[in-house]
Chain A
Amino acid sequence: MLAAALAGPAAAVDDVALAAKRPPKLLSQTGLFADPATQKPAAGVIPFAITTPLFSDYALKTRFVYIPEGKAARYHDTEAFAFPVGSVLVKSFAFPADMRRPDEAVRLIETRLLIRRDDGWQAWAYLWNDEQTDATLNIAGAKVEIALAGIGETPDKPLRFAYSVPNKNQCKACHALGGTIAPIGPKARNLNDIFSYAEGPRNQLAHWSDKGILAGAPHPSAAPAVPDWRDQSAPLETRARAWLDVNCAHCHRRQGPASNSGLFLTYGETDPVALGIGKRPVAAGRGSGGRDFDISPGDPDGSILIYRVESTEPGIMMPELGRSRYDHAAVELLRDWIANLR
């Protein structure tokens, strides 16, 4: 690293360091950012967004993809793209002081890396320092006290809670497919949307194809897409299903960590019982909330799913990781959806 630093401003991704058994201690040493503090990516590191994001205690997220020069991810219609060895997916979590002014007083909390090595994906988290100058590799996880205004019915009174930075194993608790670590977000349906690049707005699938980092993608009009769950012009069903897909289906799918539940919430799931409709719980314990079915059509208050997404109590709440608050607006959406099911 010293040699690289002496050679001039390090604005190039350090492929060797990222491929090591353990990545660099400091985020700045990865070379993924030209300026980590402002989240300015290095050359070849491309920002992206997913249409319906995971709820993480209201955290703001910035995402980047890096694919080594001359390589490309392989398109897939329903699964995360197959990324070549050397690829890195980057996701930073940050909180503004006030959600009504999300661009002001933003504090970076953590930056997570998914690194595609020749033996599979590795997940790592970097914890930002108080000075906001750099982030340090973290293994055991951390709790960070957050005060966030602009939420709920008393927006001027900051909401205080402990944001949880996952430990290394907890990364895999969500990022697991068939027992090995896998990306979740970069699927065609989540990326098939307009992103405001420095060069101007462009569909992300088209942009990735243009840049040569995605191979085999059809025209965006021929690729699947989920709506933004907040988009009230989209059908209720697809909004609810998009939210469940991103927030739940990384575990609740046939190859996921919650396979034993028999509750499968992927966007493409067509079996109503697997989706929870009229399905009795198997290992819910007190998570059942005294209710008989995961989803009881027409009856949100009789549905275990609502009980668990509303809860903030460990042992009951779902998802069981990645949040300590709950997503009021999303719960309203899910309530509406279930109320309208027949």
Chain B
Amino acid sequence: MRHSAWKIFAGAALALALPVVAIAAEIRVEPGTDANEKLIEALILAEPGDTVTIAAGRYALTDGLSLDVDDVVVRGEGPDRTVLSFRGQTGSGEGLLVTSDRVVLEDFAVEDAKGDGVKSKGSDQITFRNLRVEWTDGPKAENGAYGVYPVSSKNVLVDGVLVRGASDAGIYVGQSEDIIVRNSRAEYNVAGIEIENSYRADVYKNVAAHNTGGILIFDLPNLPVQGGHDIRVFDNDVVDNDTPNFAPEGNIVAIVPKGMGIMVMANRNVHVFKNRLSGNATAHVLIAAYPEDYDDDAYMFVPRGVYVHGNEYGEGGGAPDGEVGKIISDVSGTPVPDIVWDGVTTIPEYFSWVAAENRIYVDEAEGTTFANLKMISQLLLPWSTAPDTDISAYKGALPEPEPVKLPQDQAS
């Protein structure tokens, strides 16, 4: 068959001494008229240990790419130099799909994918590093849902990516375990960063700006993995999230009001600390129950054990947006306090007590404002019109989860 990609046998000499060891090769793809086919072939024919290098240039792709080989590095020559454009895509649900283990994706850009940008499904040790995923027409409902999208994966590292324009979430980690999202920037998406139905995630040193909502920690019913827990969101800049919600109706993020900073919905043991929040006009932090009706006996719809402490709050809450903004401000007044809890508990708990490990704790600097809206069940109706704004009553702490450690990450 025609060789449309060439391999450099970098390890050939070594292989003589160690014949059993796989020879790591570099497969280099250059831009050109048949680059689409070359890239597809390179990703299919790669052997474990190989590096697929995508040379600088612009690649106009007509079909999605996919990688199903373990232990492969796919590397561009910089997120502004190696650009995979999917504007002319006619097939597949994403730009690049990875279904194998121990894969590194780095130093390239994915633009204007028809569906999701870069997705991993069922991968163990998947790294997204120094990528740019962007819908270049700016925010609009026709953009793909997710930019960087690991799902049903384990040991997920998202490091130094930039995502713009996703109609759902820029960086979305779903139904996954052991996750680090750091040093990344998400802007002009509906949700900047979203961790959903996932276990053990550290989200730190990111910037979430000019999204509808900055960082969302969600748990949803009727999914194979649910009961998200042990999440740390710290040292992030969550600022000026001021893009009107442009998510297609029906998606859960369509409920997120413009100007949401950090939102925790359902989930267990979530720690939000040392973040810097400002310019979020609905609320800086919202802790809420899942608001829709559902049929799933295994699902816990209220957040269990949330600890918010040591964050810095700038201006915010001055222009609560949309239905959720109205529900909040009807009770809390405007400006909306820095931290809002809808106050929803399960019915038995409402009439008795909530165990210590399941409570909401807030420990913030003097002057931070707070409201427990005291809403009942999922109706999002106020039980009384007087919210509880006594922040000192929520003082306390929860033991912090251990830092997430990933096998592919020496720094963690």
A residues whose Cβ falls under 8 Å from a Cβ of B: 25, 137, 139-141, 143, 162, 164, 167-170, 172-173, 176, 179, 254, 257, 259-260, 262, 272-274, 278-293, 304, 313-315, 320-321, 324
Shortest distance in angstroms between B44's beta carbon and chain A's nearest beta carbon?
A: 5
Cβ contacts under 8 Å, B41 to chain A = 139-140
| Residue from A25, A162, A169, A291 in contact with B67 in the complex, judged by beta carbons closer than 8 Å | A169
Q: Does B141 sit within 8 A of A, measured CB to CB?
A: yes
Instruction: Decide: A320 and B167 in contact? CB cutoff 8 A.
Output: no
Would you mind naming 15 contact pairs between A and B with Cβ atoms under 8 Å apart?
Answer: A137-B1, A140-B44, A141-B37, A169-B43, A282-B174, A283-B151, A283-B174, A285-B146, A285-B167, A285-B168, A287-B115, A290-B249, A290-B250, A291-B249, A314-B89
Per-residue A-contact encoding for B78-119, CB less than 8 Å = 1, 0 else: 000000000001111100010100000000000001111000
Instruction: Decide: B114 and A285 in contact? CB cutoff 8 A.
Output: no
Cβ contacts under 8 Å, B68 to chain A = 169, 172
Cβ contacts under 8 Å, B1 to chain A = 25, 137, 139
Question: Which among B219-227, B236-244, B268-276, B314-322 touches the partner chain?
Answer: B219-227
Whole-angstrom distance between the alpha carbons of A218 and B44 in the complex? 41
Q: Does B142 sit within 8 A of A, measured CB to CB?
A: yes
18 more CB-based (< 8 A) A-B contacts, given A284-B251, A314-B114:
A139-B41, A141-B37, A141-B63, A143-B62, A162-B90, A167-B66, A179-B122, A260-B175, A262-B222, A262-B224, A280-B292, A282-B220, A283-B116, A285-B248, A286-B248, A289-B250, A290-B249, A291-B249
Instruction: Decide: A288 and B222 in contact? CB cutoff 8 A.
Output: no
The 7 closest A-B pairs by CB, nearest first: A285-B145, A288-B250, A315-B115, A315-B114, A290-B249, A169-B66, A320-B93
Cβ contacts under 8 Å, B91 to chain A = 164, 314, 320-321, 324
Instruction: Decide: A283 and B168 in contact? CB cutoff 8 A.
Output: yes
Shortest distance in angstroms between A164's beta carbon and chain B's nearest beta carbon?
A: 6
Cβ contacts under 8 Å, B40 to chain A = 139-141, 167, 169
Whole-angstrom distance between the alpha carbons of A321 and B223 in the complex? 23
Cβ contacts under 8 Å, B220 to chain A = 280, 282
Whole-angstrom distance between the alpha carbons of A255 and B151 in the complex? 14
| Residue from B99, B151, B174, B295 in contact with A278 in the complex, judged by beta carbons closer than 8 Å | B295
Instruction: Decide: A260 and B252 in contact? CB cutoff 8 A.
Output: no
Cβ contacts under 8 Å, B250 to chain A = 280-281, 284, 288-293, 304
Q: Provided the pairs A169-B43, A285-B168 are in contact, do residues A274 and B222 lie with their beta carbons within 8 angstroms?
A: yes
Q: Does B356 sit within 8 A of A, measured CB to CB?
A: no
Cβ contacts under 8 Å, B146 to chain A = 283, 285
Which among B1, B115, B122 has the highest number of chain A CB atoms within 10 Å? B115
Q: Does B144 sit within 8 A of A, measured CB to CB?
A: yes
Shortest distance in angstroms between A329's beta carbon and chain B's nearest beta carbon?
A: 23
Cβ contacts under 8 Å, A167 to chain B = 40, 44, 63, 66
Instruction: Decide: B90 and A314 in contact? CB cutoff 8 A.
Output: yes
Number of contacts between A and B (CB, 8 Å)?
A: 148
Q: Provided the pairs A280-B250, A290-B249, A314-B90 are in contact, do residues A257 and B222 lie with their beta carbons within 8 angstroms?
A: no
Q: Does B296 sit within 8 A of A, measured CB to CB?
A: yes
| Nearest A residue (CB) for B41 | A140
Whole-angstrom distance between the alpha carbons of A292 and B250 in the complex? 4
Whole-angstrom distance between the alpha carbons of A287 and B141 in the complex? 10
Cβ contacts under 8 Å, A279 to chain B = 222
Shortest distance in angstroms between A240's beta carbon and chain B's nearest beta carbon?
A: 21
Instruction: Decide: B66 and A173 in contact? CB cutoff 8 A.
Output: yes
| Residue from B92, B142, B252 in contact with A280 in the complex, judged by beta carbons closer than 8 Å | B252
Cβ contacts under 8 Å, B149 to chain A = 283
Cβ contacts under 8 Å, A274 to chain B = 222
Per-residue A-contact encoding for B48-90, CB less than 8 Å = 1, 0 else: 0000000000000011101110000000000000000000011
Cβ contacts under 8 Å, B232 to chain A = none
Contacting A at CB under 8 A, from B139-194, are: 141-146, 149, 151-152, 167-168, 172, 174-175
Instruction: Decide: B144 and A285 in contact? CB cutoff 8 A.
Output: yes
Q: Does B121 sit within 8 A of A, measured CB to CB?
A: yes
Instruction: Decide: A139 and B121 in contact? CB cutoff 8 A.
Output: no
Cβ contacts under 8 Å, A285 to chain B = 115-116, 144-146, 167-168, 247-248, 251
Q: Does B12 sit within 8 A of A, measured CB to CB?
A: no
Q: Does B15 sit within 8 A of A, measured CB to CB?
A: no
Shortest distance in angstroms between B411's beta carbon and chain A's nearest beta carbon?
A: 28
| Nearest A residue (CB) for B190 | A285
Q: Does B45 sit within 8 A of A, measured CB to CB?
A: yes
Shortest distance in angstroms between B13's beta carbon and chain A's nearest beta carbon?
A: 25
Per-residue A-contact encoding for B246-288, CB less than 8 Å = 1, 0 else: 0111111000000000000000000000000000000000000
| Nearest A residue (CB) for B119 | A283
Q: Provided the pairs A140-B40, A281-B250 are in contact, do residues A260 and B66 lie with their beta carbons within 8 angstroms?
A: no
Cβ contacts under 8 Å, A283 to chain B = 116, 145-146, 149, 151, 168, 172, 174
Shortest distance in angstroms between A317's beta carbon and chain B's nearest beta carbon?
A: 9
Instruction: Decide: B292 and A260 in contact? CB cutoff 8 A.
Output: no
Shortest distance in angstroms between B101's beta carbon and chain A's nearest beta carbon?
A: 10
Instruction: Decide: B44 and A289 in contact? CB cutoff 8 A.
Output: no
Shortest distance in angstroms between A142's beta carbon and chain B's nearest beta carbon?
A: 9
Whole-angstrom distance between the alpha carbons of A60 and B68 in the complex? 29
Whole-angstrom distance between the alpha carbons of A139 and B43 in the complex? 11
Whole-angstrom distance between the alpha carbons of A292 and B248 in the complex? 10
| Nearest A residue (CB) for B296 | A273
Cβ contacts under 8 Å, B296 to chain A = 273
Instruction: Decide: A320 and B45 in contact? CB cutoff 8 A.
Output: no
Instruction: Decide: B145 and A168 in contact? CB cutoff 8 A.
Output: no
Cβ contacts under 8 Å, B143 to chain A = 286
Whole-angstrom distance between the alpha carbons of A219 and B40 in the complex? 46
Instruction: Decide: A292 and B249 in contact? CB cutoff 8 A.
Output: yes
Instruction: Decide: A254 and B224 in contact? CB cutoff 8 A.
Output: yes
Instruction: Decide: B90 and A324 in contact? CB cutoff 8 A.
Output: yes
Instruction: Decide: A320 and B115 in contact? CB cutoff 8 A.
Output: yes
Cβ contacts under 8 Å, A280 to chain B = 220, 222, 250, 252, 292, 294
Instruction: Decide: A260 and B248 in contact? CB cutoff 8 A.
Output: no
Instruction: Decide: A289 and B115 in contact? CB cutoff 8 A.
Output: no
Instruction: Decide: B115 and A288 in contact? CB cutoff 8 A.
Output: no
